[in-house]
Structure 1
Amino acid sequence: MRILDYAEHALSEGRDARAACYVECEVGGQVLWGVGIDPSITTASFKAVISAVNRAMR
């Protein structure tokens, strides 16, 4: 797997803000997007990568 593009942003402001992360990945010759949403940007990033890998597995 190779990350081709990465973007992130906050969905709201304040203490309860959530982050959205978008990744474009190449998995097994396929180019796929994944999205992750979580209060932690690290976890949102991980969820986005897992989302892209899951799409490749379909």
Structure 2
Amino acid sequence: MRFWDLRAPWLEPLRGPNGLDLSRLKKDIQPWQERRSAEYMTHALFPISVSISLQD
């Protein structure tokens, strides 16, 4: 079974006529997912600022 052939109850509402509907995927975001992404974004900024300060 290929991953794009997956049939699951949580996936069916996100399907469009030509497969997965990207606009539905973008709108179907839960509050806990936003919190987790915010945590990763704050952690991701630290190494970038360190690498910039080391180049000076």
TM-score by length of 1: 0.31
Which structure has the higher relative contact order (CA within 8 Å, separation 6+)?
1
Structure (1 or 2) with the greater strand fraction: 1
**Higher Rg:** 2
